Chain A
Amino acid sequence: MSSILLISGGPSPTARTGVVVSHVDGLLREAGYGVRTLHVRQLPTLPLLTEDLRDPEIGDAVAAVLRADGIVVASPVYRAAYSGLVKALLDMLPKKALRGRVILPLATGGSQGFLVAMDYALNPLLAGKGADSVLRGEFVLDSDIDGGTIAPKAAEAIRGAVDRFTPAVEEARFRRERTRLRPAG
């Protein structure tokens, strides 16, 4: 079974990005996937913001990325770009860390216009880490998240994104295993 990592860049699990992430987590579990959620905010702050790879929890987070077949990157839109916390985590990944892994970007924000802003900021960053399979993401409006619940139309869009994501993840895992099984040379 493929392994999937959810990276949640929100300030807390109950904030909007966290709500979207736990919704996606539920959908993936329903479909039978092994999922782990990484709340960036719960990583030790000082090593995170000072990009200190020697910290064991940071090392563990990076290792989780390197084990995943598929990664959901969820960030609130802050100042028309990804949050600083998400940036700090992605910075710490080794070169080409995202190669061969399927990435699904998710963002929450106040206005639809930020979808473009997010693409502008996030895609080069993912590409810089070797990502070669970034799916079309979803943008969830703040007004579509009320407490812990997501409005039906937005939930439908998220389900659509997950339905694009899982077959691509399966395929990526299949390709990786085939490469691994092929005799060297």
Chain B
Amino acid sequence: MTAGPMAAGPITTLAVVHAGLGSPSSTQLLATRLAEATQNEVARRQAPDLEVRSVHLRDVARDIADNLVTGFPSARLREVVESVTGADAVIAVTPTFNASYSGLFKSFVDVLEPGSLAGKPVLIGATGGTERHSLVLDHALRPLFAYLRTIVVPTGVYAASSDWGAEGLPGRIDRAAGELADLLVGRAAPTPTPASASIEDFVPFDQLLAGR
């Protein structure tokens, strides 16, 4: 283990965002499993405890739609957005509707400032009725989070109805959580960068080599 001692470091936070609609919601269940697994994996790496903040987008659906029109979040939505943009890592889980993310999930991403998640480690997950739609991860969610310039862990987790209680899912959850934990451990909160990083930030290569 190469991570140094972290006991005195700042609290590490994990935002867990899900767009489940049903009750009970399989999307919520997957989000919870992923969060627990990530906490375990972080603990296994002898890092300080994670503070987990859960966001159920259904609760702020109206606020999200209003924000699209007014351009401003309600106080409640602002708190939700800040808990996500301010976290050290994000777990994002959507139900699969028509082989893609849901309208609610996308609408939440629509109200986030494009640069506000830049550089953040993200674990993507989706639930669905059929196994055939697991490509929602690589065809819909991954491009979306690439656009937001996040660092998406290699393993995404898709859970079809038939996956629950079956072999395979717990292993995939643990692998994805391990990958997220690796990125989290020893990592301070990334500062969001505006969408257009300015030319002043550019350090010429010779200065880099000179150890500037």
Verify if B69 is at the interface (C-beta below 8 Å from A). yes
Partner of B106, one of A12, A51, A87: A87
Distance to closest chain B CB from A166 (angstroms): 28
Within 8 A of A (CB), among B65-81: 65-66, 68-69
Residue of A nearest to B148 (CB): A79
Whether A48 contacts B65 by the Cβ 8 Å rule is yes
B185 at the interface (CB under 8 A from A): no
Known: A83-B106, A90-B98. A51 touches B21 (CB 8 A): yes
B interface secondary structure, majority: helix
B68 CB contact (under 8 Å) in A11, A51, A79, A125: A11
Q: Is B82 an interface residue (CB 8 A)?
A: no
Task: Identify B103's interface contact among A41, A84, A120, A129, CB under 8 A.
Answer: A84
Contact of A85 among B65, B139, B143 (CB under 8 A): B65
**Which parts of A88-140 form the interface with B (CB within 8 Å)?**
88-91, 120-121, 124-125, 128-129
Contact A125 B100, beta carbon cutoff 8 Å: yes
CB of A183 to closest CB in B, whole Å: 36
Contact A80 B21 (CB under 8 A): no
Contact B108 A84 (CB under 8 A): yes
Number of A-B contacts (CB under 8 A): 94
Which B residues are in CB contact (< 8 Å) with A120?
143
Question: With A11-B68, A46-B61, A46-B62 in contact, do A91 and B109 touch (Cβ < 8 Å)?
Answer: no
Q: Is the interface of A mostly helix, strand, loop or mixed?
A: helix
For A89, list chain B residues within 8 Å (CB): 103
With contacts A11-B69, A49-B61, A49-B65 taken as known, whether A88 is within 8 angstroms of B148 at the C-beta atoms is no
Q: Is the CB of B143 within 8 A of A80?
A: yes
Q: How far in angstroms is the closest Cβ of chain B from A19?
A: 16
* B69 and A41 contacting across the interface, CB-CB below 8 Å: yes
User: Which residues of chain B from 94 to 111 have any CB-CB distance to chain A below 8 Å in the complex?
Assistant: 97-110
Number of chain B interface residues as a range: 20 to 34
Q: Which residues of A contact B68 (CB under 8 A)?
A: 11, 41, 83-85
Check if A50 is an interface residue, CB within 8 A of chain B.
yes
Nearest chain A residue, comparing its CB with the CB of B104: A49
**Which of B62, B64, B107 has the largest count of A CB atoms less than 10 A from its CB?**
B107
Chain A window 64-90, contacts with chain B (Cβ cutoff 8 Å), 1 for yes, 0 for no:
000000000000001111111111111
- CB nearest to B144 among chain A residues: A79
Residues of A within 8 Å of B106, CB to CB, are 78-79, 81-84, 87
Query: Chain B interface (Cβ within 8 Å of chain A)?
Result: 21, 58, 61-62, 64-66, 68-69, 97-110, 114, 139-140, 143-144, 147-148
8 pairs of A and B residues whose beta carbons are closest in the complex: A88-B103, A84-B107, A84-B106, A45-B65, A87-B103, A49-B61, A91-B97, A49-B104
Known A46-B62, A84-B68, A121-B100; 8 more pairs at CB < 8 Å: A41-B65, A48-B103, A50-B58, A51-B21, A51-B97, A83-B68, A84-B64, A91-B98
